[in-house]
Amino acid sequence: MKIRTATLDDAAAVAAIYGPVVEHTTISFETEPPDAAEMRSRIEKTLASLPWLVAEDAAGAVCGYAYASKHRERAAYQWSVDTTVYVREDMRGHGVGRALYGCLLPLLSELGYCQVFAGVALPNAGSVGLHEAVGFTPVGVYCNVGFKHGAWRDVGWWQKSLQVPQGPAELRRFEG
C-alpha cells in the first residue's frame, strides 16, 4: 500500500468511496453525495493549508483517504484539528485506516498541531475501533444531534494529543 498526498485528479476516486457512505449509511451526515467536481474543490481547499492523503492499493487505485480540517473558527483553537478517514468498502479491515493515520498524525504534529479530534456517527464499531487503536480516547457524545434515514443519530467525539503544548507556537503550513 502506498500513502501519498492527494491531487486534484483523485477527486473522482474519492467521490466514489464517499458516495455510497452518504447514500446508504448514517456514517456521514451529508444527505446528497458530492460529485467529483465538488470533491476536487474540497481537496483543493484543504491542501491550501492542511494535509489530505490518499492510500493506493496494490493496483494503484485509491482505496482510502484521510484529511485534517480546522477544529473551530476562533483563533484560540488554531492548534487543534479534526480528522476524517474513509476507506473503500472492499478494503475495510485491511489496515488502510491505520496506515493513513500512521502518516497523517505525525505530519500534523510536525506542522505544530497539539490536539486532534474525530467525530464518529454512532453506532460505528469499525471507526471507534480504528480511532482507539491509533490512540484516540473518547471525550463525549452529542446526543440526537443529526437526523438521517428516519432517526436521530448521536455523534461520539474522540481526542488524541499529538504533543504537549508548551505555549503558543507558530503553525507551519502544509506544503504537500
Condensed to tens digits (0 to 9), the pLDDT of residues 92-145 reads: 999 999 999 999 999 999 999 999 999 999 999 999 999 999 999 999 999 999
Note the pLDDT of residue 168: 67
Is position 47 within any domain?
A: yes
Instruction: Kindly state whether residue 141 falls inside one of the protein's structural domains.
Output: no
Q: Is 165 part of any domain?
A: no
List Cβ neighbours of 2 (8 Å cut-off, separation of 6 or more). 55, 56, 60
In a domain, 159, yes or no: no
Q: What is the DSSP letter of 1?
A: -
CATH number of the domain that 58 lies in? 3.40.630.30
24 vs 77: CA distance, rounded Å: 33
92 within domain boundaries: yes
Q: Is the peptide bond before 123 cis (omega within 30 degrees of 0)?
A: yes
Spatial neighbors of 32 by CB under 8 A, at least 6 apart, are: 22
Number of domains in the chain: 1
Look up the domain containing 44 and give its range: 2-114
CA distance 163 to 114: 5
Cell readout for 101 is 493515520
pLDDT at position 165 over 80:
no
Report the chain's terminal Cα–Cα distance, integer Å.
19
54 in a structural domain: yes
Contacts of 39 (CB under 8 A, 6+ apart): 11, 12, 14, 15, 18
Would you say residue 131 lies in a domain? no
**Assigned domain for 133 exists:** no
- pLDDT (mean) for 61-74: 97
Nearest-angstrom CA–CA distance, 14 and 12: 5
- Residue 166's pLDDT is what? 75
Q: Is the pLDDT of residue 172 over 90?
A: no
